[in-house]
Amino acid sequence: MTPNFRRNAIGVAVLSLASFASMAQAQDPAQVQQAQPADAASLREITVTGNPLGATDLIAPTTALSGDKLLLRSQSTLGETLDNVPGVSSSYFGPNASRPIIRGQDGDRIRILQNGGAAPDASALSYDHAVPVDALVTERIEVLRGPSALQYGGSAVGGVVNVIDNRIPSEPINGFGGRADLGYSTGNKEKNGGVVLEGGNDRFAVHVDAFNRDSKDVSVPITLECSKPGSPWTARKICNSANEASGGALGGTLFFDQGYIGASVSSYRSKYGTVAEDDVTINMKSDRYALEGEWRPGGFISSIHAKLSHTDYRHTEFEGGTPGTTFSNMSNDLRIEARHQKIGNFEGLVGFSSETNRFAADGEEAFAPHSRTRSNAFFLHEEYGTSWGRLSFGARTEQVRIRSLGYPDDPTVTRFAIGERTFNPHSAAFGALVNLAPQWQLTSNLAYTERAPKDYELLANGPHVATGAWEVGDPNLKKEKSTGFDLGAQWKSGPNTARVNAYVTRFRNYIGLTATGRSLDEEGNVAEPGAADTLAEYVYGGVRARFTGIEANGNLRLLGSDGFARMDDAGTLDLEWRGDIVRAKNLDTGEPLPRIAPLRLGATLAYNNGPWGARFGFDYNAAQHRVPSVGARETDAYTLWNAAITYRMKVQRANLTWYARMDNITNKLAYSATSILTTTVYPNAPLPGRTLKVGLRVTF
């Protein structure tokens, strides 16, 4: 992304805001009306990730964030944006790279989608690789917890995160509208801005978006050393944590009587410090081209929906100003779903998906070879409606072919295995929803899932600085197999809600990294104990494992309509509460699995009165002492307090939302139990300190 484009992206947002401000000054004060909350005027959300048939009641545990909820919790990374959603934590590789962890599972057990299609990158390969999406131009984020989303493959055994940006509009847009955002944060001196514009009529729709972020090193409550040239030797900041990111997209759709067809092109650019090393930065680019369409022929097949995308991902790791290792991932993704009309009480869909990936790593820290992965799958999802609720069934069968190409740029590098493996994973899931009473529902899901090993799990053999290890794959790995069961209950009475889910997942062949106790030199040879410049050897292998946990959240109206107290014109006061706990155990050794979130509890008081809104709450993380005896560090308990205030106003046809948010109010020093940095570079990567963010969103 060129500097001119980045300036233009933020410039569009600024000009949009300036035009609205000038309109406000030109209007009579009587014409400036109070804005309604964004959610009040919007249509009911349709959660598509957990509902392939569009049902309003969810069998699978699903959370959706949009509007003000997403605005007030958005961060620069996807993992941190979703952190503390019940059942979701963050891999936190500093403020610039972070993937969601769902129910204790991360990496290639969590599928990240973009508008329901594949969004390939290199983030699952290594903790220091960022996910190329940004909340500034995101409409909604949906999180599906548990293994029920098997239509998305074995890599969704832990859950699915679907990032929806409407870059290919699926419904007509009558007229012109959009939104613009501006924000500033004190803790890292971040300046950000984004703009989304949409327009059209019954026959066509156009979408344009652009964003820009620029942040400095992140402030923390402790003095840390830093050897990066040009930086202070000691400072209360995380060394090498600055970030620049920008991107944009252009998309459009043509509508016809029996469906639509649309296309989009998008780009993402980022330059950020890796935190684990003081003078290493990553320059990332990701370009994505997508086609999407739907045809509704009538008759037995009610609709055929297709998505096709091509992604060109590449990033280079720089040591100082010198290019080091380059990672690239060229991929194609095709997904076709055909939905049939009801047969009695049955309705459902069948589908086909195909993905191809060509991965390459070149440089001194290329710990995996060039490889090609091809995956083809057939899947189905059926639901049966009853007078008391709904039953669901899903199945998937696929073929995965992984071929190692070695290291073509240097034939003398022979440490990588060359060859091909083929896997045939099969999965199935059952679900039930029971309406016990108008206010109560019970849900249950049972799933058997198989996952083919990833290319790096089979083929890795080299130094990996992000994990501080020499990683060794196993070309003879078998499929990862798991059985998962969850049971949930939810209650709703007006604004008062409560949800709880308990789950257990057992793995017959859980693939992970295990320390061998040996150290290797820079050539991969076994080193003598105590030798300098060595890396601990870790090998990929399968073990029996069990994950169990409980997650719960709800809302209690304290003041206002349907509350415990009622005062005229006093607004509403709600107590939003949440909590979760997960235990993960290596059944072969009896030890806990690493990087598992401890018990977490949180609560927020949310007050609304006319145009004003205020929030004040906390998130408590218990101490984590359940860690493996080797290769992990215990963490202390901590509580982070936060607050936010919003003010809404309406000017002409524009809604303005002014907001301020304070995170970590007490400037608490805390370390994440789910971050590998807490072990590998301790104490250099604590969670961010006190941060004030102020911003303005304009929707029109």
The predicted-structure confidence for 203-262, as pLDDT tens digits, reads as follows 999 999 999 999 999 999 999 999 999 999 999 999 999 999 999 999 999 999 999 999
Structure tokens at 28: 């009579």
At residue 155, the pLDDT reads: 83
- Whether the CB-CB separation of 168 and 112 falls below 8 Å is answered with no
Residue 425, burial from CB neighbour count under 10 angstroms (0-12, 13-18, 19+): buried
CA–CA distance, 163 with 116 (Å, rounded to integer): 8
Residue with tokens 């990936």: 357
pLDDT over 60 (residue 10): no
Instruction: Please state whether the peptide bond connecting residue 683 to the residue before it is cis, i.e. omega within 30 degrees of 0.
Output: yes
Q: What is the pLDDT of residue 534?
A: 86
Sign of dihedral through CA atoms 219, 224, 227, 233? Answer: positive
Map 22-78 to HEC letters.
HHHHHCCHHHCECCCCHHHHCCCCCCCCCCCCCCCCCCCCEEEEEHHHHHHHCCCCH
Q: Say yes or no to pLDDT of 584 above 80.
A: yes
pLDDT for 321: 86
Which candidate, 348, 279, 268, places its Cα nearest to that of 317?
Answer: 279
pLDDT surpassing 50 at residue 31: no
C-alpha 263/C-alpha 653 separation (Å) is 29
- For residue 387, the 8-state DSSP code is S
Higher pLDDT, 640 or 363: 640
pLDDT of residue 23: 36
Question: What type of residue is 86?
Answer: P
pLDDT for 411 equals: 82
Q: What is the mean pLDDT of residues 475-488?
A: 96
Per-residue pLDDT for 38 more than 70?
no
- In the three-class reduction of DSSP (H, G, I as helix; E, B as strand; rest coil), residue 148 is classed as coil
Q: What is the mean pLDDT of the chain?
A: 90
Check pLDDT > 80 for residue 19: no
* Residues 442-465: tens digit of each pLDDT: 999 999 999 999 999 999 999 887
Please, which pLDDT band fits residue 135 given cuts at 50, 70 and 90? very high
Average pLDDT on 43-69 reads: 76
pTM for the model:
0.91
The proportion of the chain whose per-residue pLDDT surpasses 90, expressed as a percent, equals 76
User: Who's near 573: CB < 8 A, 6+ residues apart?
Assistant: 557, 558, 559, 560, 563, 605, 606, 607
Query: What pLDDT does residue 28 have?
Result: 38
Separation CA 497–CA 491 (nearest Å): 5
Candidates 73, 47, 74; CA nearest to 61 is: 47
Closest CA relative to residue 404, chosen from 391, 412, 394, 414? 414
Q: What's the pLDDT score for residue 565?
A: 74
Q: Which of 25-39, 361-375, 434-448, 604-618 is predicted with the least confidence, judged by mean pLDDT?
A: 25-39
DSSP 606: E
Mean pLDDT of all residues in 317-340: 94
Q: How many CB atoms lie within 10 A of CB 424?
A: 11
pLDDT in the model for residue 27? 38
Q: Which residue has the tokens 């509350």?
A: 563
Mind listing the pLDDT tens digit for each residue in 606-629? 999 999 999 999 999 999 999 998
Cβ pair 573, 563 in contact under 8 A? yes
Q: Give the least confident one: 114-123, 522-531, 647-656.
A: 522-531
Residue 208 and residue 376: Cα distance in Å, rounded? Answer: 33
Instruction: Tell me what the mean pLDDT of segment 120-132 comes to.
Output: 90
Tens-place pLDDT, residues 388-443: 999 999 999 999 999 999 998 888 888 898 999 999 999 999 999 999 988 999 99
| Mean pLDDT, range 69-84, rounded to an integer | 94
Q: What domains can be seen in the chain, in order of their start residue?
A: 3-699 (2.40.170.20)
pLDDT (0 to 100) of residue 643: 98
Going by pLDDT thresholds of 50, 70 and 90, the confidence category of residue 40 is very low
On the question of pLDDT at 5 being above 70, the answer is no
